[in-house]
Amino acid sequence: MDDGQITKNGIVLRLNADGTAEALEMQPNEMDRAVRTIEAPFELRRRGVEGKIVIGDCEPQPDRTLLRALSSAHDWAADLRNGRPLGEIAAATGHAEAYIRNRSQLAFLSPAIRSAILEGRQPTNLTLERIIRKPVPLDWGAQARLYGFEGGQ
């Protein structure tokens, strides 16, 4: 590569003529100059403390942390509904009661949001930390708006 440039909304790569021609098994003068420049728009998405460059449409990637938390939340909510004391659940899992209480609220996410999380279609900035930062609204439309789902699922 000769050089590259990253702008706010894209990336431009300029490939070395000799190296590109050699890789394509041709002479540098046979190559159109346009094939030596690659331009691609991208979007920088923040997710907690990390940034992610997204180019084009990406395959959905389930968030393992969210998946584990969602599964545990449903288990704990079922235990609570069945009359198991919070302190007993906490002791059995090795977590504080506040931890269980805080994460159990994921069991009350709308079916559409749960499906999106399971399939990895949730907004990139929807993290476990973002969900547990505030109480989960019981209104599914409010959840959709709060967590960045378009159209109020």
- The pLDDT tens digits of the residues spanning 55-64 come to 666 667 788 9
Q: Is the pTM of this model over 0.75?
A: no
For residue range 92-120, list pLDDT tens digits in order. 999 999 999 999 999 999 999 999 999 99
* H-helix or E-strand spanning residue 4: strand 3-6
> The tokens of 40 are what?
């691609």
For residue range 121-137, list pLDDT tens digits in order. 898 788 999 999 999 99
> The tokens of 38 are what?
């690659």
CA distance 119 to 113: 10
CA distance 102 to 98: 6
